[in-house]
Structure 1
Amino acid sequence: MKNKSSRRRRNLNATQKATRDEAAASNVIENRLSNLPNDLLLNILERLDTLDAIRTCILSKQLLKLPTMLLRFYLTFSLKQVLRTNRVVAHVTDIILSTRSPEVTISELKIRFVLLPDNSLTIGRSVARAMATQKVGTAEFEIVTKKHHGLCSSADLLQFAKQFNDLFGACPRAFAGLTSLLLENMRFGELDIPKILSTSKRLEYLRLTRCDSGFHSVVQVEHDQLVEIEVEICLPKLQRLTYDNWFSSEYPLYFGFLPQLSKLSLIKTGIRSDKTLELSQLLANVPSLGDLHLDFGSEKIWILPECPKLVTPVLNKLQHVNLDHLPEGCDLAWTMFILKVAPSLKELCITVWDHWCIMITNKELRKKYCFCEKADVKWKPYAPDFKNKNLAKLTIYGFQPDDNFMRCIGCVVEHAVNITEISLYGRKVCGRYGDLDPEIHDNVCPSRYPPTTEERK
């Protein structure tokens, strides 16, 4: 009995000692933190998510006033955490932003939250008040939905869009101050996106993940400040797509599975830093492409002639190719890779044209904006004796009777064993200014296209 009582007393004493040690350690931490200047404490706290910073401040009474002085306001949990802590996010946003001094600038504000009416409204109104009474630098909303896209019906997409529109209508000042907006799983009305953009005048970045305006819809995007737009969509019935002049050194699009996409048009005025696109990667999930239009804007060729083993599986159903606005002086030999990698190709149209109406011709401006000097695209035939048995028609605009064009035509005739028609035309006439472009161009770089019927024969 004495041994048991002794052990109990020793255990109790050990527990009490541990408690005293923890309290002492806590006091030491509190004292050390309390002794640091506020500027240093804020610098430390701003490296944390705002909720973690608040938890840290609970350690000391002196620290409790610091959360309202933070320059960075970050509430960006993982998506699983957001679903559990959405109410906390709303409460913290309301408390912190409503008790801040208007004299303290918010340099960065970033909030991720679930689109739930009550919580979302609390966040929206709190941020709107902050926008109205305080200086706010960059500000971002990432709004997620309570359902994963794979579980969303059409009714769900419409409901989420309505909930967002209700929030947007109730808190326009909050959205007017945003510089970034990330949305997902919404089916908007035709005028919703333009309304969002016209209100969010500071917006620089917009990401729409699996958002649309219904089938056969057109989304109008016009904005003076928008620097980057990222669109991630699921369109199993999409058949035609045109993408005009992206501004990025990376790939312009990443396609999910698009089983019905049959016609693709890519338009790009290339500069030196632009990434060269590989069709084998870009079109890996587009199995039914039959019509491809590539417009180079009379500048850099931004398509890489690839090894047939890589790209033929992607382009084996391609029947019509239009290579538009190739720069004059560019070696046309690289275009032959299309014949090799697209065995079903029936028609090939090539337009060679330095279209001065769309080009920047000033040397200083070309240097400033990193436009390329004219350079050939290097291509080495992987199988010089290949045969394309389906190409029936070749059309060339901007034809000149020189070695460049004659070699190109000779290669087509050699490899397209069943070709029946070759049509050769001079420079195209500018549709915007009538005959103005060819007249000006011919004064500097006269066309050598045969002017008479006899010469053309």
Structure 2
Amino acid sequence: MKNNNGTCCSHNKATACHEGEAASGGSGGDRLSKLPDDILLNILERVNTLDAIRTCILSKRMLKLPPMLTQFDINIGSLVRYRKPHVDTSSHIVRYNIAVAGVTEKILGVRNLEIPIRKLRVRFCLRRDVCLSISKAVASAMATQKVEDAEFVLLTEKSCLKCTRDDLLCFAKQFNSWFGDCPAVFAGLTRLWLRSLRFGELDIPNIFSTCKRLEYLRLSYCDAGVCSVLQVEHAQLVELHIDYGKFEAVQLNCLPKLQRVNYNCWSYGTPLIFGYVPQLSKLSLEKVGINSTSNLQLSQLLANVPWISNLHLDFRSEKIWVLPECPKLLTPVLGKLQIVKLDNLPEGCDIAWTMFILEAASSLKELCISVWDHLCKMKTDKDFRRQNGYCEKANVEWQSSAVHFKHKNLVKLTIYGFQLEENFVRYVRRVMEIAVNMEEISLHDREVCERCGNLDPSIEVCPSRYPQTSEEKDMLREEISRELRVASPAVIHFRS
């Protein structure tokens, strides 16, 4: 698990232990527990709450701190992760679900009511008896003290990929029963993450109408039946995240505060239909493209949201599913775009097609491209690829009509997976030529994945051709910038 700063909790604990040993070794005492309360609380709130409680038990001086905590992250994740293979999963989940319920009740029951809860996150498995215990404890806290941010992260007894149709329906039935028994706690939630549920037609609208404070909703492997249409209306929702939804479409009808949308792996043609979303600024789309995948036309997809400022597209090392379009069509919808990130473009394909975004987005400031065949996540079996419609690598055709085009706002270009090949060299030179105010070009080698290195040796992996020596890098800088008068070679930085 990661803490608020994105660092690993286990690393934090190891570091804390090391520092504690060093601190006590020289003086023969526990210097950690002698720190001021505010510093100790800051440290404890950066780790899993169960670990924080265990730490406090070791010191009489620190026993008073748990009731003073303002942030809680209560989850069974670390406990489930380390279970032994022969342990029965169901009984294991029951045991630790009960533990989470008990910890939640005790922690919230002894808090100082004058200290508001800034963040409360509880991660547990869908089992009605335990869900009711947790809901009762959280609802009581909401009724007696200020809870600024409350989140439920819901797991199911089967992993998402192993769930059958009957499993999805059964889990949804369990959720609806619990939901109906505890409307007060859901009315106070600000964040909710649901997995592996197949709802009825009115169930999801009921969630929106009940969870009036909801600001963040994530649905993973959830739907209301294959080819169902998800209608979204909510006064407070700020972020919507959908993974592997089998919706025919997601209609964002009326969401006055929505700012961020993330949709991973939609099943059908157009993933999103935008209605009233006046504050939407960030859109992230991720999908494995195959032969049957329809190409998205940004001019149509974003026709009702011409104020998008941050666009992230992830192609998962497969087919490019965005259609390059004429700037005349795109300029009206990309006029406010400032940051574009194009992830996991397949290796071996010409990246020149991405220039169509530059030509249409005159306000663009940063462009980040990663080129990577992430083999441990790709389908590499040739028969499987052929039977399931996976594409062979093919260049995306794009011919610029803007010969003398100049871009005045682009200041930063980043490329991960840069190789000493004409494809990359020509692209960087072209960007330097048109971006008259370029400040920084950062060129990185391919990303490193340890799992990719353990694949079948028969899978051919081309060795990296990233420049290694300072001489190679200096020569490449000069080659790229030769005959260009608009930028200095000094803007090019090799980061790996």
- 1:226 CA displacement: 0.8
2:125 to 110, 114, 122: 114
Q: Normalization by structure 1: what TM-score?
A: 0.54
Instruction: Specify the alignment match of 2:461 in structure 1.
Output: none
- 1:220 CA displacement: 1.3
Aligned partners of 1:190 and 1:218 also within 8 Å:
no
Residues of 2 paired with 1:42 and 1:238: CA distance?
45
2:183 to 172, 177, 180: 172
Report the residue type matching 2:117 in the other structure.
Answer: I
1:300 to 322, 334, 338: 334
Cα separation, partners in 2 of 1:271 and 1:167, compared to 1, 3 Å: same
Which runs of 5 or more structure 1 residues have no equivalent in the other structure? 1-23, 315-325, 328-339, 344-371, 376-381, 383-457
Cα separation, partners in 2 of 1:75 and 1:29, compared to 1, 3 Å: farther
Which runs of 5 or more structure 2 residues have no equivalent in the other structure? 1-23, 82-92, 247-264, 354-359, 362-394, 399-406, 411-422, 424-496
**What is the correspondence of 1:55-134 to structure 2 with a 5 Å cutoff?**
55-78=54-77, 81=80, 83=93, 85-134=96-145
Report the residue type matching 1:126 in the other structure.
Answer: A
**What is the correspondence of 1:410-429 to structure 2 with a 5 Å cutoff?**
none
Matched, 1:158 2:157: no
Secondary structure of the residue aligned to 1:206 is strand
Cα separation, partners in 2 of 1:200 and 1:259, compared to 1, 3 Å: farther
Secondary structure of the residue aligned to 2:208 is helix
Residues of 2 paired with 1:86 and 1:140: CA distance?
16
Q: Deviations over 1:193-215 (max 9, x none)?
A: 11111111111111111100002
Aligned partners of 2:290 and 2:318 also within 8 Å:
no
Q: CA RMSD in A?
A: 4.5
Secondary structure of the residue aligned to 1:211 is coil
- 1:37 CA displacement: 4.5
Q: Deviations over 1:283-320 (max 9, x none)?
A: 94588x99x9998593437799x99x8489x9xxxxxx
Cα separation, partners in 2 of 1:257 and 1:153, compared to 1, 3 Å: farther
2:225 to 210, 214, 224: 214
Aligned partners of 2:215 and 2:236 also within 8 Å:
yes
Instruction: Specify the alignment match of 1:252 in structure 2.
Output: 284
Residues of 2 paired with 1:124 and 1:166: CA distance?
13
Residues of 2 paired with 1:169 and 1:59: CA distance?
41
**What is the correspondence of 1:183-202 to structure 2 with a 5 Å cutoff?**
183-202=194-213
Residues of 2 paired with 1:239 and 1:70: CA distance?
46
**What is the correspondence of 1:294-333 to structure 2 with a 5 Å cutoff?**
298-300=332-334, 310=349
2:156 to 145, 163, 168: 145
Residues of 1 paired with 2:35 and 2:148: CA distance?
27
1:270 to 288, 292, 306: 306
Q: Which has the higher helix share?
A: 1
Aligned partners of 2:282 and 2:309 also within 8 Å:
no
Residues of 2 paired with 1:258 and 1:186: CA distance?
26
Q: Deviations over 1:262-290 (max 9, x none)?
A: 47565213347343869xx3894588x99
- 1:239 CA displacement: 4.1
Report the residue type matching 2:105 in the other structure.
Answer: D
**What is the correspondence of 1:402-413 to structure 2 with a 5 Å cutoff?**
none
**What is the correspondence of 1:327-342 to structure 2 with a 5 Å cutoff?**
341=396
Secondary structure of the residue aligned to 2:197 is strand
Aligned partners of 1:239 and 1:260 also within 8 Å:
no
Instruction: Specify the alignment match of 2:51 in structure 1.
Output: 52
